[in-house]
Amino acid sequence: MRGTLKTSTLESKFPLLRVENNCIISKFADITAAYRVSLPELFTLTGEEYEALHGAWLKALKVLPDYTVVHKQDFFIEERYETPNDGSERSFLARSYERHFNERPYLRHTCYLFVTKTTPERMRQTSASSVLCRGFIVPREMRDTDAVTRFLEAAEQMERILNDSGLVRVERLTEAEIVGTADDAGLLARYFALSDERRPVVNEDIRLDPGTMRIGDKYLSMHTLSDLDVLPQSVATDFRYERLSTDRSDCRLSFAAPVGLLLSCNHVYNQVIFLDDHD
């Protein structure tokens, strides 16, 4: 007897209700503001600047209301460097630089920040409550407009604090950037295709098997660092990178660099912070 796979459409499992006023609204009535984050280049920050950047993030998170979920998502996609062909005149050194790096592989880094206002009940739910594990979704009523307004004002304040630090640049994503246009696939389509290409992408099958997940021809290996037993005994904002440090110079890297640009393969690095009752 031939075995059959249980299939469902993405539409039936899709957790989002709509995108409105540059906000993502889920079928559980969670409201999310999405941002594009420009971070400092690798090897450019000192230890003091890492401390200042860490302080800016802490200050920004403290202005957000209770029961907010902050999700920072970093995409690292393998690409090959292409010489710009814009027709502009270049010096001899510039042309030599372009030829030297042409076709060399590198990891392109794109960073997003999602700030979600939810409820105490939703904060206590586990992955078993995910819409991907259920056959139907029961929408909730939207919270009162005053609560939504206060949340969006807090998100704007968070954005200002981060931009005022001078170390990062945070830009709010528009509705078109989220859902896409005729020329741009949009954030949602790129995420479901595991692609960072701007051009429109083709929807591919998502297959879930025990211990395996596949999107099109891309196989996923997922790892979680959440148990205290698997975390280091001590953490810091940065560490000395011995390979590029000398007796006279100190090269500093972020504490999470080994799972960022130093991890030389296609990967997505997710950091999720749950802001419970501040009291």
Q: How far apart are CA 42 and CA 59, in angstroms?
A: 23
Residue 167's pLDDT is 96
pTM: 0.86
pLDDT tens, position by position, 138-157: 434 455 678 889 999 999 99
The residues near 31 (Cβ < 8 Å, ≥ 6 apart) are 23, 24, 25, 116, 117, 148, 151
- Lowest mean pLDDT, pick from 32-36, 102-106, 110-114: 102-106
Q: Quick one: pLDDT band at residue 32, thresholds 50, 70, 90?
A: very high
Q: Which residues pair with 31 in a beta bridge?
A: 25, 117
**pLDDT surpassing 50 at residue 56:** yes
Q: Quick one: pLDDT band at residue 2, thresholds 50, 70, 90?
A: low
Residue 4's pLDDT is 58
Whole-number average pLDDT of the chain: 85
Residue 135's pLDDT is 46
Residue 254's pLDDT is 93
Q: How far apart are CA 154 and CA 249, in angstroms?
A: 40
Q: Which two tokens stand for residue 238?
A: 């940065």
SS3 of residue 262 by DSSP:
coil
Q: How far apart are CA 217 and CA 174, in angstroms?
A: 30
pLDDT tens, position by position, 183-232: 888 999 888 888 877 776 667 788 888 878 898 888 999 888 888 788 77
